[in-house]
Amino acid sequence: MSVPAELKYAKSHEWIKLEADGTVTVGITQHAQELLGDMVFVELPKVGRILAQQEDCAVVESVKAASDIYAPLSGEVIAINAEVESSPEKINEDSYSAWLFKLKPANTAEIDGLLDANGYEKLLESDAH
Amino acid sequence: MLKTTPLNAAHRGMHAKMVDFGGWDMPLHYGSQLDEHHAVRRDAGMFDVSHMLTVDLHGENVRQFLRGLVANNIDKLTVPGKALYTCMLNPAGGIIDDLIIYFLSESWFRLVVNAGTADKDIDWITLQSSQHAPDLTITPRRDLAMIAVQGPNARAKVWAVIPDSKAASEDLKPFQSVAFGNYFIARTGYTGEDGFEITLPADEAAAFWQKLHAAGVAPAGLGSRDTLRLEAGMNLYGQDMDETTNPLESGLAWTVDLKSERDFIGKQALLEKPVNQQLVGLVLLDKGVLRNHQKIITQHEGIAGEGEITSGGFSPTLNQSIALARIPVGIAAGEQVHVVVRDKQLAARVVKYPFVRNGQALI
């Protein structure tokens, strides 16, 4: 199972990349895309929307099921990846390059509450048992 | 403890993603449900359907017994090997199960019933037999496996694996079957494509499966089986119909014979109960994916109504979302309805189904 060391993770299987400019990029993990299967539809939040932490803000739908995506941090949506909306299968091909949206965090203290790669791997192990 | 089919080890050997399907450990897909779907539409795929149950009925009065047991008219079966799709109803007209009945001889008919309803079906048939045909022998055949080979090249690939079977099976028309040694070959399926469903001894199933695979038949799981049957507009028991719905409101009026004098269980109820609902096809006009149990809002001649999606999903062939839905009668193909999806109402068009047949889009 691929869990890149440089990323942060949420328990609801989003990955979070802390960018140099203080913004964050959000996507879903390899584990999440594997569980969902072939992606066929992605709905992303509007740029400019203010999100609360844990707010459901996007939907990814596979042939199998719809899955809500939760904001891992509170903040403003500053960009969305239109490419995954038109080609949802990009998420299956590489879920770590097929990002969903970028946030400008409102409260950087929330970052400390995210899992690191080690913590996320432990979560996956405990889910598997 | 999940039940397993004779092909369980074969699925695991092919790295299937296994799921609990009504108590059976079954393959959902072997990597990509979409690829498996397309393989069946464009070439050939194979499904393990051994969880379904073959039930043999033997006795002198089997035909007479079946005349009363099922809603379709068993007397449509005049040539040995011919099959009939039918519902088995309770006295209220509710659907106990949908099944295929093969006419093998006047003293031997073969039923193939759904996995999830198999025990209930056996109990019901046994009860009815005790009252109406006590000499009947009811034999569940868990000693058999069943493999559905489906797709435009399915039959040719079966013949490549068992060349001797070609002469026996090449003239079969849809819904006809033939016995070939230990194999029972039927030109039936649940995908809207050509192909065979082959019933064979359980201990021969794994070897046959591997030979089909070597001949280029793609293993396909329950995921693609569901999207294929939805595109083909075929009902799924437990979703599109159950004991609380009858065939007339489930798109299955064509399988119910109300014209002949023959009486059958549920007939009186069907004749008495007004039909207020219908099963229709939907094509989503907005973006999104229709899912089971989503609510439908209808407007027809100024009257508001409600309905529900019974089977919704994404159609890989049409590259858009489609559904089967139960809505009030009167709403015709071409009209629009709205489907409640999360916090939105999405527009959908009512269509006649099937959506896809023999690889071709029909809508």
pLDDT at A128: 76
Section B185-205 average pLDDT: 98
Q: Do B223 and A40 touch (CB under 8 A)?
A: no
* pLDDT, tens digit (0-9, with 9 covering 90-100), for A5-17: 999 999 999 999 9
pLDDT at B266 over 90: yes
Section B217-228 average pLDDT: 98
What domain range includes position B197? 1-234
Chain A CA closest to residue B227: A63
Q: How far is CA B106 from CA B47, B71, B109, B113, in A?
A: 31, 19, 7, 20
pLDDT at B261 over 70: yes
Dist CA B122 CA B117 (whole Å): 9
| Structural domains of chain A ordered from first start | 8-107+119-124 (2.40.50.100)
CB distance from B223 to chain A under 8 Å? yes
pLDDT at A129: 64
Asked if B223 and B335 sit in the same domain, the reply is no
Number of helices (H) and strands (E) in chain A: give both, helices first.
4, 9
- The residue of A64, A84, A86, A91 whose CB has the most chain B CBs within 10 angstroms, and thus the best one to mutate to test that interface, is A64
Section A113-126 average pLDDT: 95
User: What ipTM is given for this predicted complex?
Assistant: 0.83
Q: Do B33 and A64 touch (CB under 8 A)?
A: yes
Q: Which of B17, B33, B342 sits opposite A63 (nearest CB)?
A: B33
Asked if B217 and B285 sit in the same domain, the reply is no
Last residue of a domain, one of B176, B205, B234: B234
pLDDT band at A1 (very low <50, low <70, confident <90, very high): low
Task: With respect to residue B112, please indicate whether it lies within any of the assigned structural domains.
Answer: yes
Q: What rounded mean pLDDT belongs to chain B?
A: 97
pTM score, two decimals?
A: 0.94
Dist CA B80 CA B104 (whole Å): 5
Asked if B220 and B315 sit in the same domain, the reply is no
* pLDDT, tens digit (0-9, with 9 covering 90-100), for A21-69: 999 999 999 999 999 999 999 999 999 999 999 999 999 999 988 999 9
The first and second tokens of residue B332, run together, are 């015709």
Q: Can you tell me which residue has the tokens 């023959």?
A: B262
- The residue of A31, A34, A40, A59 whose CB has the most chain B CBs within 10 angstroms, and thus the best one to mutate to test that interface, is A40
Q: Do B287 and A59 touch (CB under 8 A)?
A: no
pLDDT at B92 over 70: yes
CB distance from B229 to chain A under 8 Å? no
Section B134-141 average pLDDT: 97
Region of B177 on the Ramachandran plot (φ > 0 left; ψ -120 to 50 alpha; else beta): beta
Asked if B149 and B215 sit in the same domain, the reply is yes
- The residue of B15, B34, B317 whose CB has the most chain A CBs within 10 angstroms, and thus the best one to mutate to test that interface, is B34
Chain A CA closest to residue B319: A40
pLDDT band at A2 (very low <50, low <70, confident <90, very high): confident
